[in-house]
Amino acid sequence: MTIATKRQYESLTEEQAIVYAKKLGLFSDELELECSEIGDGNLNYVFRIRDPKNGKGIIIKQALPYAKVVGESWPLTLKRAKIEASALKKHGEFAAGLVPEVYAIDEELAITVMEDLSRLTIAREGLICLESYPKLSTDIGEYLAQTLFHTSDFALHPFEKKKLVSEFSNPELCKITEDLIFTDPFFDYETNDFESSLRVDVEAIWSNELLKLEVAKLKKSFLTEAEALLHGDLHTGSIFASEMETKVIDPEFAFYGPIGFDVGLFLANLIFQTITREGESRVVIFEHIEKTWEVFSSKFSELWKKEAVESYKDTKGFETYVLDKIFQDAIGFAGCELIRRTIGLAHVKDLDRIVDEEQRILAKKQALQIGELFILNRKEISSIQSVIELLEELQK
């Protein structure tokens, strides 16, 4: 892997991205390359550079010194590019094939050069178009188990684990999550964004002290429980998919946090699809929800039995306690994600694209209802099957 030399930060143009790729030696000088900026996320530029003659390409991802979604008034650390590239590499050690290959890192220009995945589709976009991704939940269940188990105290020497905790300290990006997922949507704060016809439901959330107490507990877990190296933003827009392949991208929010957070975010983003679909196509998503948890928990359990280094690993009840806690946390975090993507700053296309206002508001009310229910009842929801029964009941 190349580590490029020092120079001052400047954001690249498409032409400069081509020059940059050639300087890295990834293409020969005489080639006529094509480049387009394809980033549709909230924070970064993503340049796709390809040789039109053979279709071979690379991705140059560059962090901007501010949040693209808001503009220059919201400065944001460039260090996130290094965190993202390092997390891709660390997670790739355990989930090879489920993350893109990193070719080069450039800390000064906040650039990661990586495998071109444009043969795949962003899972959110594909799911919205009812594309079929038969491997999505098995792959994500496997990715979650491998990355989260292997970076936890259950698999690592305590010195190694604490070294990683410090390497992946990511305070600025964590602060975004603390604010946008756990705080702002539950108060009358300026960052929130919702249709006026949701105001009654939103005000009910702001004045629900019981709900706020449970969200405060979940926020405390996020702030304090350094269990494993999380992806930190595992929604369906952070996943590339096809019928044959799944790749997890964009771990710029990576840090050491509670294992249930990654699991819960992914489940919540599948739930948006259960809200917008009907009939057989909704059943497919219920199956993905069930399979994600089943693959994750059985793989985690298998790794525990084979590889755990914890002295208490065989103590009766401990493994079950750990998995039950992850499940409860995941349901609670999923609840927060459902609410914040509906009334907070950063929405999801699954709901916002519904053109008919009445239908859109109904879908959003359902997301809020499921979110509240998950947060308040996470300790009573005992299995993934009961999650599905609950969703089926609410969506009758």
| Interacting residues with ligand SR1 (CB under 6 A) | 41-43, 67, 69, 176-177, 180, 233, 346
CA dihedral 136, 320, 223, 386 (to 10 degrees): 60
346 interacts with, out of ligand SR1, Mg ion, none, CB within 5 to 8 A per kind: ligand SR1
Nearer of residues 242 and 269 to ligand SR1, judged by Cβ: 269
C-alpha to C-alpha distance for 250 and 395, rounded to whole angstroms: 32
Checking 350-354 for CB contacts under 8 A at 24+ apart, the result is: 350/124, 350/127, 350/128, 350/269, 350/272, 350/273, 350/275, 350/276, 351/272, 351/275, 351/276, 353/128, 354/276
Strand spans (E) along 226-265: 228-230, 239-241, 246-248, 255-257
* Residue 235 C-beta: closest distance to ligand SR1, Å: 6
Binding site for Mg ion (CB under 5 A): 41, 250
* Residue 336 C-beta: closest distance to Mg ion, Å: 17
Binding residues: 44, 61, 115-117, 233, 250-252, 340
Our CA angle for 154, 157, 163, nearest 5°, is: 110
Structure token pair of residue 392: 């089926």
By C-alpha distance, which of 69, 42, 83, 120 is closest to 230? Answer: 83
227 interacts with, out of ligand SR1, Mg ion, none, CB within 5 to 8 A per kind: none
Nearer of residues 227 and 250 to Mg ion, judged by Cβ: 250
Nearer of residues 334 and 388 to ligand SR1, judged by Cβ: 334
* Residue 42 C-beta: closest distance to ligand SR1, Å: 4
Binding residues for substrate: 233, 340
* Residue 343 C-beta: closest distance to ligand SR1, Å: 13
Instruction: Using CB positions, name the residue nearest to Mg ion.
Output: 250
Nearer of residues 41 and 332 to Mg ion, judged by Cβ: 41
Binding residues for ATP: 44, 61, 115-117, 250-252
C-alpha to C-alpha distance for 104 and 26, rounded to whole angstroms: 10
Nearer of residues 117 and 284 to Mg ion, judged by Cβ: 117
257 interacts with, out of ligand SR1, Mg ion, none, CB within 5 to 8 A per kind: none
Nearer of residues 55 and 171 to Mg ion, judged by Cβ: 171
The answer to whether 280 and 258 are in contact (CB under 8 A) is no
Q: Could you tell me which residues are beta bridge partners of residue 256? A: 229
151 interacts with, out of ligand SR1, Mg ion, none, CB within 5 to 8 A per kind: none
* Residue 172 C-beta: closest distance to ligand SR1, Å: 11
180 interacts with, out of ligand SR1, Mg ion, none, CB within 5 to 8 A per kind: ligand SR1
CA dihedral 136, 242, 371, 197 (to 10 degrees): -170
Structure token pair of residue 235: 């929604």
The answer to whether 378 and 331 are in contact (CB under 8 A) is yes
By C-alpha distance, which of 267, 265, 259 is closest to 325? Answer: 259
Nearer of residues 319 and 337 to Mg ion, judged by Cβ: 337
Write the CA distances from 353 to 191, 255, 280, 347, 350, integer angstroms.
20, 31, 21, 10, 6
Nearer of residues 41 and 258 to ligand SR1, judged by Cβ: 41
The answer to whether 110 and 43 are in contact (CB under 8 A) is no
114 interacts with, out of Mg ion, ligand SR1, none, CB within 5 to 8 A per kind: none
281 interacts with, out of Mg ion, ligand SR1, none, CB within 5 to 8 A per kind: none
Q: Dmax over Cα atoms in the chain, in whole Å? A: 65
* Residue 252 C-beta: closest distance to ligand SR1, Å: 8
* Residue 245 C-beta: closest distance to ligand SR1, Å: 22
* Residue 9 C-beta: closest distance to Mg ion, Å: 20
